[in-house]
Structure 1
Amino acid sequence: MTRWLFDLGNTRLKMAPLTADGEPGKVVAIAHGEGDFAAAIEAALPRDGDIAYLASVASAQTTAALQEALSQRFARTAVARTAAHFAGLRIAYAKPDKLGVDRFLALLAAHARGGAWLVAGVGTALTIDLLDGEGAHRGGRIAPSPALMREALHQRARQLPEVGGDYAEFADDTEAALASGCEGAAVALIERSLAKAAEALGAAPGLLLHGGGADALAAHLPQAQIASHLVLRGLAQWAHRSGGE
Protein backbone atom coordinates (compact mmCIF):
# COMPACT_ATOMS: atom_id res chain seq x y z
CA MET A 1 0.00 0.00 0.00
CA THR A 2 1.39 3.41 -1.01
CA ARG A 3 0.60 6.04 1.62
CA TRP A 4 1.92 9.60 1.82
CA LEU A 5 1.82 12.36 4.43
CA PHE A 6 1.19 16.00 3.48
CA ASP A 7 1.69 18.95 5.85
CA LEU A 8 0.53 22.14 4.10
CA GLY A 9 1.67 25.15 6.11
CA ASN A 10 1.41 28.88 5.59
CA THR A 11 4.48 29.02 3.35
CA ARG A 12 5.58 25.48 2.55
CA LEU A 13 4.28 22.03 1.75
CA LYS A 14 6.16 19.23 3.49
CA MET A 15 5.48 15.72 2.25
CA ALA A 16 6.88 12.26 2.83
CA PRO A 17 5.95 8.64 2.24
CA LEU A 18 4.55 6.81 5.26
CA THR A 19 6.91 3.92 5.86
CA ALA A 20 5.99 0.41 6.97
CA ASP A 21 7.13 1.19 10.53
CA GLY A 22 4.68 4.12 10.74
CA GLU A 23 7.22 6.94 10.39
CA PRO A 24 7.67 9.62 7.72
CA GLY A 25 10.23 8.71 5.09
CA LYS A 26 12.38 11.21 3.19
CA VAL A 27 10.76 14.64 3.46
CA VAL A 28 10.40 16.97 0.47
CA ALA A 29 9.56 20.65 1.05
CA ILE A 30 8.07 22.98 -1.58
CA ALA A 31 7.36 26.69 -1.08
CA HIS A 32 3.90 27.63 -2.34
CA GLY A 33 4.16 31.40 -2.26
CA GLU A 34 6.15 31.67 -5.45
CA GLY A 35 6.57 29.85 -8.77
CA ASP A 36 4.25 27.21 -10.18
CA PHE A 37 3.07 25.34 -7.09
CA ALA A 38 0.86 22.96 -9.05
CA ALA A 39 3.73 21.95 -11.35
CA ALA A 40 6.09 21.47 -8.41
CA ILE A 41 3.78 19.13 -6.54
CA GLU A 42 2.94 17.22 -9.71
CA ALA A 43 6.65 16.56 -10.23
CA ALA A 44 7.17 15.40 -6.64
CA LEU A 45 4.11 13.17 -6.20
CA PRO A 46 4.12 9.42 -6.80
CA ARG A 47 2.38 8.34 -10.00
CA ASP A 48 -0.13 6.06 -8.33
CA GLY A 49 -0.92 6.03 -4.61
CA ASP A 50 -3.49 4.51 -2.30
CA ILE A 51 -4.03 7.04 0.52
CA ALA A 52 -2.91 10.64 1.03
CA TYR A 53 -3.06 11.94 4.60
CA LEU A 54 -3.40 15.72 4.59
CA ALA A 55 -3.11 18.38 7.28
CA SER A 56 -3.49 21.99 6.16
CA VAL A 57 -3.44 25.43 7.76
CA ALA A 58 -3.02 27.16 4.39
CA SER A 59 -5.67 29.19 2.60
CA ALA A 60 -8.74 27.48 1.18
CA GLN A 61 -7.50 28.18 -2.36
CA THR A 62 -4.07 26.64 -1.79
CA THR A 63 -5.58 23.67 0.04
CA ALA A 64 -8.03 23.07 -2.81
CA ALA A 65 -5.21 23.16 -5.36
CA LEU A 66 -3.32 20.49 -3.44
CA GLN A 67 -6.43 18.36 -2.95
CA GLU A 68 -7.11 18.49 -6.68
CA ALA A 69 -3.56 17.30 -7.40
CA LEU A 70 -3.88 14.52 -4.82
CA SER A 71 -7.18 13.34 -6.32
CA GLN A 72 -5.34 12.69 -9.59
CA ARG A 73 -2.70 10.50 -7.93
CA PHE A 74 -4.31 8.84 -4.93
CA ALA A 75 -7.36 6.63 -4.57
CA ARG A 76 -8.35 8.45 -1.38
CA THR A 77 -7.43 11.52 0.67
CA ALA A 78 -7.96 11.55 4.45
CA VAL A 79 -7.95 15.04 5.96
CA ALA A 80 -6.78 15.39 9.57
CA ARG A 81 -8.72 17.73 11.84
CA THR A 82 -8.25 18.79 15.44
CA ALA A 83 -10.18 16.64 17.91
CA ALA A 84 -10.98 17.39 21.55
CA HIS A 85 -9.78 13.90 22.58
CA PHE A 86 -7.54 11.64 20.54
CA ALA A 87 -5.22 8.77 21.47
CA GLY A 88 -4.89 9.96 25.07
CA LEU A 89 -4.38 13.62 24.11
CA ARG A 90 -6.92 16.11 25.50
CA ILE A 91 -7.07 19.59 23.98
CA ALA A 92 -7.56 22.62 26.26
CA TYR A 93 -9.63 24.66 23.81
CA ALA A 94 -13.38 24.78 24.49
CA LYS A 95 -13.78 24.91 20.70
CA PRO A 96 -11.15 22.44 19.45
CA ASP A 97 -11.58 23.45 15.81
CA LYS A 98 -10.01 26.81 16.69
CA LEU A 99 -6.71 25.07 17.49
CA GLY A 100 -4.71 24.74 14.29
CA VAL A 101 -4.34 21.16 13.11
CA ASP A 102 -0.56 21.66 12.95
CA ARG A 103 -0.45 22.40 16.69
CA PHE A 104 -2.77 19.46 17.37
CA LEU A 105 -0.54 17.06 15.43
CA ALA A 106 2.65 18.41 17.02
CA LEU A 107 1.07 17.79 20.44
CA LEU A 108 0.05 14.30 19.36
CA ALA A 109 3.64 13.51 18.35
CA ALA A 110 4.94 14.97 21.62
CA HIS A 111 2.44 12.90 23.63
CA ALA A 112 3.66 9.75 21.86
CA ARG A 113 7.14 10.43 23.30
CA GLY A 114 5.77 10.30 26.85
CA GLY A 115 6.21 12.86 29.60
CA ALA A 116 5.50 16.58 29.81
CA TRP A 117 6.60 18.94 27.05
CA LEU A 118 6.61 22.56 26.04
CA VAL A 119 6.23 22.38 22.27
CA ALA A 120 7.45 25.41 20.31
CA GLY A 121 6.87 25.60 16.57
CA VAL A 122 8.97 28.18 14.73
CA GLY A 123 7.52 28.83 11.29
CA THR A 124 5.54 31.79 10.00
CA ALA A 125 4.27 32.10 13.56
CA LEU A 126 5.85 31.11 16.84
CA THR A 127 3.44 28.74 18.58
CA ILE A 128 3.97 27.49 22.13
CA ASP A 129 1.88 24.74 23.72
CA LEU A 130 2.15 23.05 27.11
CA LEU A 131 1.43 19.34 27.42
CA ASP A 132 1.45 17.64 30.81
CA GLY A 133 2.55 14.08 31.48
CA GLU A 134 -1.04 12.79 31.47
CA GLY A 135 -1.73 13.98 27.92
CA ALA A 136 -3.63 17.14 28.87
CA HIS A 137 -2.95 20.20 26.76
CA ARG A 138 -2.73 23.14 29.18
CA GLY A 139 -3.03 25.83 26.48
CA GLY A 140 -0.50 27.93 24.65
CA ARG A 141 0.56 31.14 22.94
CA ILE A 142 0.89 32.46 19.38
CA ALA A 143 3.33 35.22 18.38
CA PRO A 144 5.18 36.29 15.23
CA SER A 145 8.25 34.21 14.49
CA PRO A 146 11.62 36.01 14.19
CA ALA A 147 11.36 35.78 10.39
CA LEU A 148 7.89 37.35 10.41
CA MET A 149 9.08 40.11 12.77
CA ARG A 150 11.87 40.96 10.33
CA GLU A 151 9.46 40.90 7.40
CA ALA A 152 6.96 43.18 9.16
CA LEU A 153 9.66 45.67 10.15
CA HIS A 154 10.96 45.74 6.58
CA GLN A 155 7.47 46.34 5.22
CA ARG A 156 6.96 49.33 7.49
CA ALA A 157 10.54 50.67 7.28
CA ARG A 158 12.26 49.65 4.05
CA GLN A 159 15.66 50.76 5.32
CA LEU A 160 15.58 47.90 7.83
CA PRO A 161 16.86 44.78 6.03
CA GLU A 162 14.63 41.72 6.03
CA VAL A 163 17.52 39.26 6.47
CA GLY A 164 21.11 39.26 7.66
CA GLY A 165 23.03 39.89 10.83
CA ASP A 166 24.30 37.69 13.62
CA TYR A 167 22.88 37.42 17.11
CA ALA A 168 24.65 39.41 19.82
CA GLU A 169 23.52 40.40 23.30
CA PHE A 170 24.36 44.02 22.48
CA ALA A 171 24.76 44.45 18.73
CA ASP A 172 27.00 47.07 17.12
CA ASP A 173 25.26 47.34 13.73
CA THR A 174 21.69 47.42 12.44
CA GLU A 175 21.57 43.94 10.88
CA ALA A 176 22.87 42.30 14.04
CA ALA A 177 20.54 44.40 16.19
CA LEU A 178 17.56 43.21 14.15
CA ALA A 179 18.63 39.57 14.33
CA SER A 180 19.29 39.89 18.05
CA GLY A 181 16.05 41.67 18.84
CA CYS A 182 13.78 39.36 16.86
CA GLU A 183 15.45 36.11 17.89
CA GLY A 184 15.80 37.41 21.45
CA ALA A 185 12.08 38.21 21.66
CA ALA A 186 11.22 34.65 20.66
CA VAL A 187 13.76 33.15 23.07
CA ALA A 188 12.46 35.32 25.92
CA LEU A 189 8.87 34.21 25.29
CA ILE A 190 9.89 30.56 25.28
CA GLU A 191 11.95 31.00 28.45
CA ARG A 192 9.05 32.69 30.24
CA SER A 193 6.71 29.96 29.07
CA LEU A 194 9.12 27.33 30.43
CA ALA A 195 9.25 29.09 33.80
CA LYS A 196 5.46 29.35 34.01
CA ALA A 197 5.12 25.74 32.84
CA ALA A 198 7.36 24.59 35.69
CA GLU A 199 5.16 26.51 38.13
CA ALA A 200 1.99 24.99 36.69
CA LEU A 201 3.27 21.41 36.59
CA GLY A 202 5.51 21.44 39.66
CA ALA A 203 8.52 20.50 37.54
CA ALA A 204 10.06 21.76 34.32
CA PRO A 205 8.80 20.02 31.17
CA GLY A 206 11.07 19.08 28.30
CA LEU A 207 11.36 21.59 25.47
CA LEU A 208 10.71 20.52 21.89
CA LEU A 209 11.52 22.90 19.03
CA HIS A 210 10.31 22.25 15.51
CA GLY A 211 9.82 24.16 12.27
CA GLY A 212 12.06 25.97 9.84
CA GLY A 213 13.35 28.48 12.39
CA ALA A 214 14.02 26.00 15.19
CA ASP A 215 17.77 25.65 14.69
CA ALA A 216 18.45 29.37 15.08
CA LEU A 217 16.61 29.50 18.41
CA ALA A 218 18.08 26.23 19.68
CA ALA A 219 21.50 27.91 19.82
CA HIS A 220 20.14 30.08 22.66
CA LEU A 221 18.13 27.33 24.40
CA PRO A 222 20.60 24.61 25.39
CA GLN A 223 17.91 22.52 27.07
CA ALA A 224 15.89 22.24 23.85
CA GLN A 225 15.52 19.15 21.71
CA ILE A 226 15.08 19.64 17.97
CA ALA A 227 12.12 17.56 16.79
CA SER A 228 12.42 17.40 13.01
CA HIS A 229 9.14 17.29 11.09
CA LEU A 230 7.08 17.00 14.26
CA VAL A 231 3.79 17.76 12.46
CA LEU A 232 4.41 15.00 9.92
CA ARG A 233 5.22 12.61 12.77
CA GLY A 234 1.95 13.57 14.44
CA LEU A 235 0.13 13.06 11.14
CA ALA A 236 1.65 9.57 10.94
CA GLN A 237 0.29 8.91 14.44
CA TRP A 238 -3.11 10.21 13.37
CA ALA A 239 -3.10 8.02 10.26
CA HIS A 240 -2.33 4.94 12.34
CA ARG A 241 -4.88 5.64 15.08
CA SER A 242 -7.75 7.17 13.14
CA GLY A 243 -8.65 3.99 11.31
CA GLY A 244 -8.01 5.83 8.03
CA GLU A 245 -5.83 3.01 6.73
Structure 2
Amino acid sequence: MLLVIDAGNTNIVFAVHDGVEWRGNWRLATSAQRTSDEYGVWLEVLLSRAGIRAQDITCAVIGTVVPAALYHLRRLCREWFFTEPLVARASLDWGFEIKTDSPDGVGADRLLNALAAHAHYRGPLVVVDFGTATTFDVVDETGAYIGGAISPGINLSIEALHQAAARLPRIGIGRPHMVIGRDTVPAMQSGVYWGYIGLIEGLLARIEGEFGASLKAIATGGLAPLFAEGTAKFTAIAPDLTLEGLRLLSLRNKPPALPRDRARFLETE
Protein backbone atom coordinates (compact mmCIF):
# COMPACT_ATOMS: atom_id res chain seq x y z
CA MET A 1 0.00 0.00 0.00
CA LEU A 2 1.05 3.58 -0.65
CA LEU A 3 1.27 6.15 2.16
CA VAL A 4 0.64 9.64 0.80
CA ILE A 5 1.60 12.72 2.85
CA ASP A 6 0.52 16.20 1.78
CA ALA A 7 2.09 18.77 4.12
CA GLY A 8 0.58 22.22 3.68
CA ASN A 9 1.03 25.42 5.63
CA THR A 10 -2.08 24.82 7.74
CA ASN A 11 -2.69 21.05 7.74
CA ILE A 12 -0.89 17.81 6.94
CA VAL A 13 -3.03 15.16 5.26
CA PHE A 14 -2.07 11.48 5.48
CA ALA A 15 -3.80 9.03 3.14
CA VAL A 16 -3.42 5.40 2.11
CA HIS A 17 -4.08 3.94 -1.35
CA ASP A 18 -4.16 0.17 -1.82
CA GLY A 19 -3.62 0.21 -5.58
CA VAL A 20 -7.34 0.23 -6.31
CA GLU A 21 -8.92 2.78 -4.00
CA TRP A 22 -8.26 5.20 -1.16
CA ARG A 23 -8.56 3.43 2.17
CA GLY A 24 -8.79 6.60 4.25
CA ASN A 25 -7.28 10.00 4.89
CA TRP A 26 -6.56 11.86 8.11
CA ARG A 27 -5.74 15.48 8.85
CA LEU A 28 -3.40 17.02 11.43
CA ALA A 29 -2.45 20.64 12.10
CA THR A 30 0.96 21.48 10.63
CA SER A 31 3.72 21.97 13.19
CA ALA A 32 7.41 22.00 12.35
CA GLN A 33 8.13 20.98 15.97
CA ARG A 34 6.12 17.76 15.87
CA THR A 35 8.46 14.74 15.92
CA SER A 36 8.37 11.58 13.85
CA ASP A 37 7.36 9.58 16.94
CA GLU A 38 4.40 11.88 17.57
CA TYR A 39 3.28 11.40 13.97
CA GLY A 40 3.86 7.67 14.25
CA VAL A 41 1.82 7.06 17.41
CA TRP A 42 -1.06 9.18 16.10
CA LEU A 43 -1.07 7.60 12.65
CA GLU A 44 -0.69 4.02 13.87
CA VAL A 45 -3.95 4.28 15.83
CA LEU A 46 -5.85 5.66 12.84
CA LEU A 47 -4.43 3.05 10.47
CA SER A 48 -5.41 0.31 12.90
CA ARG A 49 -8.99 1.60 13.02
CA ALA A 50 -9.05 1.38 9.21
CA GLY A 51 -7.77 -2.20 9.30
CA ILE A 52 -4.31 -1.29 8.01
CA ARG A 53 -1.11 -2.59 9.60
CA ALA A 54 2.19 -0.73 9.52
CA GLN A 55 3.74 -3.59 7.53
CA ASP A 56 1.07 -3.13 4.83
CA ILE A 57 2.71 0.17 3.88
CA THR A 58 5.31 -0.67 1.24
CA CYS A 59 6.04 2.77 -0.24
CA ALA A 60 5.48 6.43 0.58
CA VAL A 61 5.42 9.80 -1.15
CA ILE A 62 5.62 13.27 0.41
CA GLY A 63 4.62 16.62 -0.99
CA THR A 64 5.35 19.63 1.19
CA VAL A 65 5.49 23.41 1.02
CA VAL A 66 6.89 23.47 4.59
CA PRO A 67 10.60 22.53 4.36
CA ALA A 68 10.98 22.42 8.15
CA ALA A 69 8.41 19.60 8.37
CA LEU A 70 10.19 17.35 5.89
CA TYR A 71 12.86 16.04 8.28
CA HIS A 72 10.42 14.45 10.71
CA LEU A 73 8.06 13.24 7.97
CA ARG A 74 10.96 11.45 6.29
CA ARG A 75 11.97 9.90 9.61
CA LEU A 76 8.36 8.79 10.12
CA CYS A 77 8.47 6.85 6.86
CA ARG A 78 11.88 5.35 7.61
CA GLU A 79 11.45 4.41 11.26
CA TRP A 80 7.76 3.48 11.42
CA PHE A 81 7.18 2.02 7.94
CA PHE A 82 10.73 1.07 6.88
CA THR A 83 10.43 2.77 3.53
CA GLU A 84 12.30 5.66 1.92
CA PRO A 85 9.75 8.24 0.76
CA LEU A 86 9.69 9.82 -2.66
CA VAL A 87 9.70 13.60 -2.15
CA ALA A 88 7.90 15.72 -4.76
CA ARG A 89 10.40 18.03 -6.49
CA ALA A 90 10.58 19.76 -9.86
CA SER A 91 13.52 17.50 -10.82
CA LEU A 92 11.37 14.35 -10.84
CA ASP A 93 9.63 12.87 -13.88
CA TRP A 94 6.29 14.71 -14.00
CA GLY A 95 5.35 13.69 -17.50
CA PHE A 96 5.01 17.32 -18.55
CA GLU A 97 7.15 20.41 -19.10
CA ILE A 98 7.35 23.11 -16.42
CA LYS A 99 7.33 26.28 -18.51
CA THR A 100 8.25 28.82 -15.83
CA ASP A 101 11.30 31.02 -15.33
CA SER A 102 12.35 29.05 -12.22
CA PRO A 103 10.87 25.51 -12.18
CA ASP A 104 12.54 24.72 -8.84
CA GLY A 105 10.66 27.62 -7.25
CA VAL A 106 7.20 26.30 -8.08
CA GLY A 107 5.44 24.85 -5.02
CA ALA A 108 5.08 21.08 -5.11
CA ASP A 109 1.35 21.37 -4.43
CA ARG A 110 0.86 23.42 -7.60
CA LEU A 111 2.66 20.88 -9.77
CA LEU A 112 0.77 18.02 -8.13
CA ASN A 113 -2.55 19.74 -8.83
CA ALA A 114 -1.52 20.25 -12.45
CA LEU A 115 -0.54 16.59 -12.82
CA ALA A 116 -3.79 15.23 -11.40
CA ALA A 117 -6.03 17.77 -13.12
CA HIS A 118 -4.64 17.06 -16.58
CA ALA A 119 -4.80 13.30 -15.99
CA HIS A 120 -8.48 13.43 -15.07
CA TYR A 121 -9.85 16.43 -17.00
CA ARG A 122 -7.32 17.14 -19.78
CA GLY A 123 -6.06 20.63 -20.53
CA PRO A 124 -6.21 23.42 -21.23
CA LEU A 125 -7.41 24.19 -17.73
CA VAL A 126 -6.83 26.20 -14.59
CA VAL A 127 -6.80 24.75 -11.08
CA VAL A 128 -8.05 26.97 -8.26
CA ASP A 129 -6.80 25.67 -4.92
CA PHE A 130 -8.43 27.11 -1.78
CA GLY A 131 -5.67 26.63 0.78
CA THR A 132 -3.68 28.89 3.07
CA ALA A 133 -3.15 30.82 -0.16
CA THR A 134 -5.61 30.73 -3.04
CA THR A 135 -3.66 29.63 -6.11
CA PHE A 136 -4.56 29.67 -9.79
CA ASP A 137 -2.46 27.28 -11.89
CA VAL A 138 -2.67 27.04 -15.65
CA VAL A 139 -2.11 23.87 -17.68
CA ASP A 140 -2.03 23.91 -21.48
CA GLU A 141 -3.47 21.35 -23.88
CA THR A 142 -0.31 19.19 -23.70
CA GLY A 143 -0.38 19.09 -19.90
CA ALA A 144 2.52 21.54 -19.50
CA TYR A 145 2.46 23.78 -16.43
CA ILE A 146 2.78 27.40 -17.56
CA GLY A 147 2.33 29.40 -14.34
CA GLY A 148 -0.50 31.13 -12.55
CA ALA A 149 -1.42 33.52 -9.76
CA ILE A 150 -1.29 33.46 -5.95
CA SER A 151 -3.72 35.37 -3.71
CA PRO A 152 -4.08 35.47 0.09
CA GLY A 153 -6.22 32.61 1.36
CA ILE A 154 -9.67 33.27 2.76
CA ASN A 155 -8.68 32.47 6.36
CA LEU A 156 -5.67 34.77 6.13
CA SER A 157 -7.90 37.57 4.91
CA ILE A 158 -10.40 37.08 7.71
CA GLU A 159 -7.67 37.04 10.35
CA ALA A 160 -6.00 40.13 8.89
CA LEU A 161 -9.33 41.99 8.91
CA HIS A 162 -9.88 41.09 12.56
CA GLN A 163 -6.33 41.93 13.65
CA ALA A 164 -6.07 45.25 11.81
CA ALA A 165 -9.48 46.68 12.73
CA ALA A 166 -10.07 46.94 16.49
CA ARG A 167 -13.86 46.85 16.31
CA LEU A 168 -14.25 44.09 13.73
CA PRO A 169 -14.77 40.62 15.24
CA ARG A 170 -13.33 37.34 14.00
CA ILE A 171 -15.98 35.70 11.79
CA GLY A 172 -16.65 32.28 10.33
CA ILE A 173 -16.80 31.49 6.64
CA GLY A 174 -20.21 31.03 5.07
CA ARG A 175 -22.29 32.01 2.06
CA PRO A 176 -24.52 34.99 2.90
CA HIS A 177 -27.93 35.05 1.24
CA MET A 178 -27.73 38.84 0.80
CA VAL A 179 -24.90 41.01 -0.45
CA ILE A 180 -26.04 44.05 1.53
CA GLY A 181 -25.37 43.20 5.18
CA ARG A 182 -27.67 44.87 7.72
CA ASP A 183 -25.14 44.64 10.57
CA THR A 184 -21.39 44.44 11.01
CA VAL A 185 -21.00 40.66 10.97
CA PRO A 186 -23.30 40.08 7.95
CA ALA A 187 -21.51 42.92 6.14
CA MET A 188 -18.13 41.29 6.84
CA GLN A 189 -19.39 37.87 5.75
CA SER A 190 -20.71 39.39 2.54
CA GLY A 191 -17.50 41.24 1.80
CA VAL A 192 -15.37 38.18 2.43
CA TYR A 193 -17.47 35.64 0.55
CA TRP A 194 -18.74 37.69 -2.39
CA GLY A 195 -15.44 39.55 -2.54
CA TYR A 196 -13.70 36.22 -3.07
CA ILE A 197 -16.25 35.21 -5.69
CA GLY A 198 -15.41 38.46 -7.48
CA LEU A 199 -11.69 37.71 -7.20
CA ILE A 200 -12.20 34.19 -8.59
CA GLU A 201 -14.36 35.28 -11.51
CA GLY A 202 -12.18 38.29 -12.29
CA LEU A 203 -8.90 36.38 -12.27
CA LEU A 204 -10.33 33.48 -14.28
CA ALA A 205 -11.57 35.92 -16.93
CA ARG A 206 -8.20 37.69 -17.12
CA ILE A 207 -6.30 34.37 -17.24
CA GLU A 208 -8.48 33.16 -20.11
CA GLY A 209 -8.01 36.46 -21.93
CA GLU A 210 -4.23 36.26 -21.60
CA PHE A 211 -4.13 32.55 -22.47
CA GLY A 212 -6.22 33.20 -25.56
CA ALA A 213 -8.60 30.27 -25.24
CA SER A 214 -11.38 28.92 -23.05
CA LEU A 215 -10.14 27.01 -19.98
CA LYS A 216 -11.82 24.43 -17.79
CA ALA A 217 -11.75 25.58 -14.17
CA ILE A 218 -11.16 22.89 -11.53
CA ALA A 219 -11.72 23.75 -7.86
CA THR A 220 -9.80 21.95 -5.12
CA GLY A 221 -9.10 22.33 -1.41
CA GLY A 222 -11.41 22.01 1.57
CA LEU A 223 -13.35 25.20 0.81
CA ALA A 224 -13.86 24.41 -2.89
CA PRO A 225 -17.49 23.21 -2.51
CA LEU A 226 -18.45 26.35 -0.55
CA PHE A 227 -17.11 28.78 -3.14
CA ALA A 228 -18.37 26.70 -6.06
CA GLU A 229 -21.88 27.42 -4.75
CA GLY A 230 -21.41 31.10 -5.54
CA THR A 231 -20.22 30.91 -9.14
CA ALA A 232 -20.90 28.96 -12.32
CA LYS A 233 -17.26 29.19 -13.44
CA PHE A 234 -16.13 25.78 -12.19
CA THR A 235 -16.20 22.74 -14.46
CA ALA A 236 -15.53 20.30 -11.62
CA ILE A 237 -14.84 20.11 -7.89
CA ALA A 238 -12.00 17.82 -6.80
CA PRO A 239 -11.24 18.38 -3.09
CA ASP A 240 -8.43 15.78 -2.96
CA LEU A 241 -6.61 16.71 -6.17
CA THR A 242 -3.22 17.11 -4.46
CA LEU A 243 -3.40 13.61 -2.95
CA GLU A 244 -4.21 12.18 -6.35
CA GLY A 245 -1.27 14.07 -7.82
CA LEU A 246 1.04 12.48 -5.25
CA ARG A 247 -0.29 9.03 -6.12
CA LEU A 248 0.26 9.61 -9.85
CA LEU A 249 3.74 11.00 -9.23
CA SER A 250 4.69 7.87 -7.28
CA LEU A 251 3.62 5.74 -10.26
CA ARG A 252 5.88 7.70 -12.61
CA ASN A 253 9.03 7.57 -10.47
CA LYS A 254 11.03 4.69 -9.05
CA PRO A 255 10.82 4.49 -5.24
CA PRO A 256 14.10 5.49 -3.57
CA ALA A 257 15.99 2.85 -1.63
CA LEU A 258 16.59 3.06 2.10
CA PRO A 259 20.15 4.04 3.11
CA ARG A 260 22.13 0.93 4.02
CA ASP A 261 23.80 2.12 7.19
CA ARG A 262 22.19 3.50 10.34
CA ALA A 263 23.89 6.91 10.16
CA ARG A 264 22.60 7.59 6.64
CA PHE A 265 19.26 6.03 7.57
CA LEU A 266 18.65 8.78 10.09
CA GLU A 267 20.10 11.71 8.21
CA THR A 268 18.16 13.94 5.84
CA GLU A 269 18.98 16.04 2.80
TM-score of the pair, normalised by structure 2: 0.80
Match of 1:72 among 53, 69, 79: 79
Shifted more, 232-241 versus 150-159: the winner is 150-159
2:202 is matched by which residue type in structure 1? Answer: R
The answer to whether the Cα contact below 8 Å between 2:6 and 2:62 also exists between their aligned partners in 1 is yes
Partner of residue 27, structure 1: 25
Partner of residue 222, structure 2: 212
Q: 2:110 aligned with 1:103, yes or no?
A: yes
CA displacement, residues 123-165 of structure 1 (integer Å, 9 cap, x when unaligned)? 1110111112122323211111111100112222353222236
Whichever structure has more strand as a proportion of its residues is: 1
Q: 2:198 aligned with 1:185, yes or no?
A: no
The Cα of 1:85 is off from its aligned counterpart by 6.7
Partners of 1:42 and 1:196 lie apart in 2 by 46
The Cα of 1:94 is off from its aligned counterpart by 1.7
The Cα of 1:175 is off from its aligned counterpart by 1.8
Partner of residue 233, structure 2: 223
Q: 2:42 aligned with 1:40, yes or no?
A: yes
Q: 2:141 aligned with 1:143, yes or no?
A: no
The Cα of 1:70 is off from its aligned counterpart by 2.2
Shifted more, 102-111 versus 148-157: the winner is 148-157
Shifted more, 193-202 versus 46-55: the winner is 193-202
Partner of residue 131, structure 1: 139
Match of 1:93 among 96, 100, 109: 100
1:207 is matched by which residue type in structure 2? Answer: A
**Helix, strand or coil for the counterpart of 1:194?**
helix
**Helix, strand or coil for the counterpart of 2:142?**
coil
The answer to whether the Cα contact below 8 Å between 1:30 and 1:40 also exists between their aligned partners in 2 is no
Q: 2:246 aligned with 1:235, yes or no?
A: yes
Partners of 1:162 and 1:65 lie apart in 2 by 33
Unaligned runs of at least 5 residues, structure 2 = 48-52, 257-269
CA displacement, residues 210-236 of structure 1 (integer Å, 9 cap, x when unaligned)? 112212211112231211210010111
Identify if the C-alpha distance between structure 1 residues 97 and 20 changes in structure 2 by more than 3 Å, giving closer, same or farther. Answer: same
The answer to whether the Cα contact below 8 Å between 1:84 and 1:90 also exists between their aligned partners in 2 is no
Larger radius of gyration: 2
CA displacement, residues 66-115 of structure 1 (integer Å, 9 cap, x when unaligned)? 2222222222211111248721x222322111110001100111111213
Q: CA RMSD in A?
A: 2.5
Partners of 1:75 and 1:145 lie apart in 2 by 36
Partners of 1:216 and 1:109 lie apart in 2 by 21
**Helix, strand or coil for the counterpart of 2:147?**
strand
Partner of residue 264, structure 2: none
Partner of residue 152, structure 1: 160
The Cα of 1:205 is off from its aligned counterpart by 0.9
**Helix, strand or coil for the counterpart of 2:197?**
helix
The answer to whether the Cα contact below 8 Å between 1:109 and 1:234 also exists between their aligned partners in 2 is yes
The Cα of 1:18 is off from its aligned counterpart by 2.0
1:177 is matched by which residue type in structure 2? Answer: A
The answer to whether the Cα contact below 8 Å between 1:127 and 1:141 also exists between their aligned partners in 2 is yes
**Helix, strand or coil for the counterpart of 2:54?**
coil
Unaligned runs of at least 5 residues, structure 1 = none
Partner of residue 263, structure 2: none
